[in-house]
Structure 1
Amino acid sequence: MTQTPPLLVDIDGTLTDESRAIDPRVFPVLREWPEPVVIATGKAMPFPIALCEFLSIERTVVAENGGVVFVEATDELQFEGDHEASLAVAEAYRELGHELGFGSVDLANRWRETEVVVSLDQPLEPLERLAAEYGLVVLDTGFAYHVTDPSVDKGTGLEAVCAELGLDPASFLAVGDSENDAEAFEVAGESVAVANADATAKARADRVTEAGYADGFLEAVAPYRR
């Protein structure tokens, strides 16, 4: 049996099915993984924290594409990225007559602390132009447009976690499906893109699974299951 590495894993499109529902078959894998597990997502921190809480695993998360990092073992919470700039982009976008696209309550942005997300049904070109004016970039994760600081990503998030835990990022297996996973793929020792991944993730991954979504995740970790 190959030695089990620490694991960094995305949520949407990786632990889920096509409808974004988490596949329950991943639950025992994450609960029983014998090495540290890092949940890395573009979502705001409450979402991966809740996943860890209900799985009863240690709350070690990279949220907002690396903008927010929490490591339960050291009780360390870190924020990186220019949130004020992303809020300014959102305001300027609205002034052009566009919306963020998530309704008046806007649960997609309500708890964000380092970036802003915009629905994929909203115009991309003006968003990219405004983001560039403020020194930011727009990531298309396949689920939303993320207006984010280019100095942070899931790779810097993984490095921050490792600095807290005394681990080497190169010891990690990283599994994901989107361009926002690509930087983590670069710093992890082994990277796997599930079959439904976008072109950027597939190009950066060491291997691509035959199956997509949660089936792909299960395929990715199969060599390490005991």
Structure 2
Amino acid sequence: MDTPSVPDDAPPLAVDIDGTLTNDQRALDPRVIPVLRAWPTPIVIATGKSMPYPVALCEFLGIEQLVIAENGGVVVAGRDTVRIEGDREAANAVAAAYRDAGYGLGWGEADLVNRWRETELAVAREMPLAPLQEIADEYGLVVVDTGYAYHVKSPMVDKGTGLNVVAAELNLNSGDFLAIGDSENDVPTFEVAGRSVAVANADDRALAAADHVTDARFADGFLEAVERFAVP
């Protein structure tokens, strides 16, 4: 798909990274870069990744640092506002208990996936899920399968609560936003946004929750969504 033009009256955007702005190898599709840089209204990067990843993406794109990281556990609304909303102590306790039960987190010794994580725990999907869910439940946390990792997080925060925070900081309503994503962790964003689009590779929960589903997959789906639905 060719890179679409962005309408001058495009609504604020909340967009996931993995599976939405990337190809099937999780590499950022270069065609999304001019679209995001040309977007005329605020863009919120909403992801399960830890804060440095989406902040760096905003930095290199040259857009304002508006970020929902760790599935709502961390919210960045510009250079002056960082809110930590999750339960870091409980997540650390789950990690310790899971290791004590004989399981690793699956990311190797350096564990760059969790190294900068503030409020939750990410476990590789190759690791056993049932014991992880049992331990998480003991500490009052839930497990969300994003298709890329198991995220152990507080049930009190999600991408939807994060979007509410960022929208309020911007003097906007969550309902003003167009949300685009691909996973069950995008469902809360879909529920509070005014319009939601799931790319065709999305999981069943995201497909069911979205207002629209693209024909194309991954970043092609994002570009299709911009072309078809980026109008107020």
Q: TM-score range by the shorter chain?
A: over 0.9
TM-score by length of structure 2 reads 0.95
Given the alignment, which residue of 20, 28, 32 partners 2:34? 28
Unaligned ranges ≥5, structure 1? none
Q: How does 1:162-173 map to 2 (within 5 A)?
A: 162-173=167-178
CA-based RMSD of the aligned residues comes to 1.1
Q: How does 1:53-72 map to 2 (within 5 A)?
A: 53-72=59-78
Corresponding residue number in structure 2 for 1:48: 54
Structure 2: how far apart are the matches of 1:15 and 1:52?
13
Q: How does 1:79-158 map to 2 (within 5 A)?
A: 79-158=84-163
- Give the aligned length: 224
Residues 129-184 of structure 1: CA distance to partner in whole angstroms, max 9, x if unpaired?
00011110000000000000010000000000011110010010000000000000
Q: Report the 3-state secondary structure (helix = DSSP H, G, I; strand = E; otherwise coil) of the residue aligned with 1:184.
A: helix
Q: How does 1:197-208 map to 2 (within 5 A)?
A: 197-208=202-213
Structure 2: how far apart are the matches of 1:206 and 1:179?
14
Given the alignment, which residue of 212, 216, 219 partners 1:214? 219
Question: Does residue 190 of the first structure (1) align with residue 192 of the second (2)?
Answer: no
Q: Report the 3-state secondary structure (helix = DSSP H, G, I; strand = E; otherwise coil) of the residue aligned with 1:211.
A: coil
Q: Report the 3-state secondary structure (helix = DSSP H, G, I; strand = E; otherwise coil) of the residue aligned with 2:151.
A: strand
Unaligned ranges ≥5, structure 2? 1-6
Contact 2:121 2:151 in 1 (8 A): yes
Residues 200 and 104 (structure 1 numbering): CA distance in 2 closer, same or farther, change over 3 Å? same
Structure 1 residue ranges, 4+ long, deviating more than 6 angstroms after superposition? none
The alpha carbon displacement at 1:2 in A equals 8.5
